[in-house]
Structure 1
Amino acid sequence: MVGFIRPPCDAGVVEATPAFDAGLSQRRKWLTVVATIVGSSMALLDSSVVNIALPAIQQALHADAAGTQWIVNAYLLLLGALVLIGGSAADLYGRRRIFVLGVAVFVAASIACGLSPNVAVLIVSRAVQGVGAALLTPASLAMLGATFGEQERTRAIGIWAGAGALTMAAGPSLGGWLVDQVSWRAIFLLNVPLAIAATALALRFACESSDPNAKQLDWSGSAAVAIGLAGITWGLSAIPASGIRDNAVLAALGVGTASLISFVVIEARLHDRAMMPLSLYRSRNFSAANALTLLLYFALGGALYYLPFGLIRLGGYSATEAGAALLPFALMMGFGASFAATMAERLGPRLLLTAGPIVAACGLAMLAFVDLSQAYWVGVFPPMFLLGVGMAITVPPLTSTVMGAAGKAHAGIASGIKNAVARVAGLLAVAALGAALFASFSYHLSATTPVQANEALNAVMSGQPAANAEAIAAFERALRTIMLMPASCAALAGLTGWIWIEPSGPRASS
């Protein structure tokens, strides 16, 4: 995932939010839509352009591979851990208030990112960006849902989704152009005018709304999941430099695992106050959809993180060209979903949730064997197109399965959980595939120590002249190897859909 597509159930959050009961003029309603589009697209655009800019950032700030991973992981960690509590805060304290607060935090962190003198400051700033995104994203969706009644909501969601599709399509190309023509810092500073526009529109036209039955915030659960994800992610990213048997690595992995287990215990004890009610997992379809999401978005997030490094370092692409190379995927994903939704209504979700991930797996497998130095239309275009088709087929029935399995009463929290799972999957993918990349890279180098292998890998990924032919060849082989891992995960997601999803389609529960 890592920013190139919206999570699978954003529209579900909108549909699950009760409409505001006061009469609003059409002008106020549609300008509220504009505010939510600008706010949510700001976060979507930022995370998509960062991936394209990573090679340039790594080179400019002299970051190693682990530090570069944390530029993405710090953002995803806080976003994934806090997005559910951000939705609860919006319901409890007011959706417009939390939206504006989230935009303010996000843009302040964006300015800090753009002015970062070193990679440490950039990582901390990206973490704060994740906090801002965890507030503004669910609040913007809930604010949109509260503004429109059922009769107008379909049109509003269509406009909002179409704007998101355009953002997905334009984001990587725009980011690449800014990196090449201005600076990687411009991709963060671009958020400033967008934040000003979103805040002004929200304060002027959006009405405040909240949920009188909103539950108290689940801080203990959020802390447990944040510590758990941080421990596992840090442990995986530290393996290249320290080794799998290092005491600090083992301790981090142990603490992370224990914290995630404690999160499950906390949620079980809190029952209705939990940010992730475990009772939802009694539904076969809901559990299956979560497993499928974890596998598929792990595959997507990992592949789209490392692909730009391959395009730029091995294929000789500029940042602009690397961003444009992703355009077929973004267009298919953004504009093919409506056709897939019609197919899902006719065929049921099980068939599409099997076929879609398998088609995506074929695209990822092709990326593992393609020669990145070939002409784009022969080499990169076919697998990117196929990956887009697979994801477009999968997302609409995945959303409908979640909503149907949870029932109307729990549709909002179920959608939020699904979105959080998608983001966490991307976080784990970057860290896990980073460890696998280093292991494969070291294997293909001639006799060398882990320290020397790590230095050689950093030299290749940052484009240093010191990178020799042997290291470049080892990186190419390692990249092919780890691309097969996302392909396997996507294929396993398809198998999960066939075995686990009920043949009769989603079964609603009240």
Structure 2
Amino acid sequence: MSGRTTSVGGRGWTLAVVCVATFMLLLDLTVVNVALPDIRDAFDASFTSLQWVLDAYALGLAAVLLTAGSLADRLGRKRVFNIGFVVFLAASLACGLANDAAVLSVARGVQGLGGAVLFAVGPALIGQEYQGKDRGKAFGVFGGVVGLSIAFGPLIGGALTDGLSWRWIFLVNVPVGLLAMVVSALRMRESRVESAPAVDWWGLVLFTGALTLLVLALLRGEAEGWASAPIVGMFAASVVLLGAFGVVERRRGEQAMFQLSLFRNRTFNGVSVVTLLCAAATMSAIFLLVSYVQNVLAYSPWETGLRFLPLTATLFVAAAISGSLTTRVPQRLLMGTSLALIAIGLFLVALTGPDTSWTALLPSMFGIGLGMGLFNPPRASLSIAVVEPSKAGMASGINETFQQVGVAIGIAGFGVAFQGRVSDLFTQSAAGRQLGPDAHEFGEAVAAGGGAEAVGRAPSALAPALETAARTAFVDGLTDVMFVCAVVAAVGAVIGFGFIRTRDLHESARGETVEVESRAVVNGVEAQGLLEGESAGVPAVAQSVRAGGDG
């Protein structure tokens, strides 16, 4: 490693830059949703074109997360991070200046590529600067920013769209990002593996191709048809490329960009699966809840964002608390408890009904916000704790890849389930039966948030009954899908409790958490013995923990 020394102030600047970059790139996942009606009007865009505005960013973000983290370990984390920043800002400018939907979609894809670099390398930069309790606090701040960026998306998007123009949801990144880049160039230190092997180009190409095809098939499966030749072909090609990637990485051994031996680490597997399940459940839930408040309750983008402030505030407070708890409470308890709280919050969506106000969502918002806030700091910390510090970029990239694949699976899978459920419920209603063969198409419009427009095009005599049926179908479909999301989160909680262990962490990170685990598995005289053993060094405590329990 180069440049080992750093001041407390210097590492504070590093945390600030990483948090600003992460906030911007994740904000752009959700901020666009509230601006889609304005983008549609500006370009007279079709529904398919608008889908690509969303999908292109998610695709670019997911495709190169692992490769970006691996390259950062080899070429220098600060260098790769800043390259990603330049790409992200240039693409943001192109998005803001786009003159049609096709140009906007391409720019969004490039923006996602730059964002992937920032997302993959950011946790590794934090991990190289902070140790012990300070690392827990730093990842608490980082985790809070991750959650806030997602929750604040509708509010900021609504403010910029209503007050200025939809273009400013992209253009605002440029001045803020340039300022952060200046700080990065002046105050962040470089870090790399001096003896790193050559870049694994074959691995990079194969994995990027496999992940691109997988995510693209997930995102476009509903539009193209899950059994259609293009979608089946993309899934099949992805499997073939992943198989070839596994062969290449096994032959490269320690020089591989993805250490396949990590799959023998129970905690690595546990964190990866929990991350995927959490992303699938929460991101799809937030998208659907925003759609409910905006399209069914008929609040403006700004008003919708304001009504999500309870979730946002809860998330922020919980993340701050979780950061300080990562070195005091066994992390398996934090991970499991956070998913359990998310599951409870998703179950509580059932309190809403066709005639309830937005306040019926408050119990759900508090549960989801508390769970998401507790989840993000230990997830980010554990993602790099399973490997030696020199491979932190690779490990962070792997975990962020699982997160983005979870987002794609969740939005695609639960989106399809929601659309189908709402359409079926509406078709089966008395008002739907009066529409005859047009009921299914009407129900799909309701699920897509176009219920009011569909009612406006219907015969005036049927309008009141159709409006009631559409509202009921949307709310009932929402609660049904949220129940399934809750079950997914509950499964994640079980895995979090059962598959995360301190003894699976790299020794450089194990020493920071081993005392926490020891307090969880011993008491009385045993606890006193551990405290005495601590003076002899970490190995003595670690041995006691292994003798005493799962830690």
Tell me the TM-score range normalised by the shorter chain: 0.7 to 0.9
1:291 pairs with 2:287: no
Q: Structure 2 CA distance, aligned partners of 1:372 and 1:280?
A: 48
Q: Which residue in the other structure is 1:456 paired with?
A: 445
Contact kept? 1:88, 1:214, Cα under 8 Å:
no
**What displacement does 1:385 show?**
0.8
* Aligned-pair CA distance for 1:79: 1.9
Q: Which moved more, 1:181-190 or 1:208-217?
A: 208-217
1:495 Cα shift? 2.3
Taking a change above 3 Å as real, the CA distance of residues 408 and 439 of structure 1, as seen in their structure-2 partners, is same
Q: Give the deviation of 1:129 after TM superposition.
A: 0.5
Question: Which residue in the other structure is 2:407 paired with?
Answer: 426
Matched with 1:493 is: 492
Letter in 2 for 1:20: G
Match of 1:481 in 2: 480
Contact persistence 1:69–1:431 (CA under 8 A): no
Give the 3-state SS of the residue equivalent to 1:336 in structure 2.
helix
Shift of 1:268: 2.9
* Deviations 1:179-232, CA, capped at 9 Å, x for gaps: 222222211111111122123333344444433123433443343344334434
Counterparts of 1:20 and 1:129, CA distance in 2? 30
Write out aligned runs for 1:209-288 (5 A).
Answer: 209-288=191-270
Cα distance in 1 for residues equivalent to 2:44 and 2:477: 22
Please say if residues 295 and 489 of structure 1, whose CA atoms lie closer than 8 Å, have aligned partners that are also in contact.
Answer: yes
Greater shift in the superposed pair: 96-105 or 289-298 = 96-105
- Residues 224-275 of structure 1, C-alpha deviation per residue, up to 9 Å, x if partnerless? 3443344344444444444343333332333334334443344333322333
Task: Give the letter for the 2:494 counterpart.
Answer: L
Q: Deviations over 1:374-416 (max 9, x none)?
A: 3333x12210111111223334444555555446565553333
**What do residues 406-434 of structure 1 show as CA deviations (whole Å, max 9, x unaligned)?**
46565553333222211221122222223
Name the CA distance, whole Å, in 2 between partners of 1:58 and 1:274.
45
Change (3 A) 1:229 1:413: closer
Query: Unaligned 5+ residue runs, structure 1?
Result: 1-17
Q: Is 2:291 aligned against 1:302? A: no
Alignment correspondent of 2:27: 45
Measure the CA separation in 1 of the matches of 2:336 and 2:378.
Answer: 10
Letter in 2 for 1:300: T
Larger Rg: 2
Contact 2:73 2:394 in 1 (8 A): no
Return the match for 1:508 from 502, 505, 510. Answer: 505
Counterparts of residues 108-257 of structure 1 (less than 5 Å):
108-143=90-125, 170-257=152-239
Relative to structure 1, is the Cα distance of residues 60 and 169 closer, same or farther in structure 2, using a 3 angstrom cutoff?
same
Task: Tell me the distance in 2 between the aligned counterparts of 1:64 and 1:473.
Answer: 27
Residue 265 of structure 2 aligns to which amino acid in structure 1?
S
CA distance in 2, matches of 1:171, 1:104: 22
What is the alpha-carbon distance in structure 1 between the residues aligned to residue 289 and residue 245 of structure 2?
33
Q: Which residue of 2 aligns with 1:358?
A: 340
Give yes or no for the alignment of 1:75 onto 2:57.
Answer: yes
Q: Given residue 283 of structure 1, which amino acid in structure 2 is its aligned partner? A: N
Q: Distance in 2 between matches of 1:144 and 1:178?
A: 31
What TM-score comes out, normalization by structure 2 length? 0.76
Whole-Å separation in 2 of the counterparts to 1:359 and 1:120: 41
User: CA–CA distance in 1 between the matches of 2:498 and 2:144?
Assistant: 33
Residue pair 1:240, 1:438 contacting (<8 A) in 2 also: no
Unpaired segments ≥5 residues, structure 2: 459-465, 508-551
Partner of 1:7: none
- The question of 1:336 aligning with 2:312 is answered no
Output the amino acid matched with 2:371.
Answer: G
Number of aligned residues: 489
The structure-2 alpha-carbon separation of the partners of 1:158 and 1:232, relative to structure 1 and needing over 3 Å to count, comes to closer
Select 1:104's aligned residue among 71, 86, 98. 86
TM-score by length of 1: 0.81
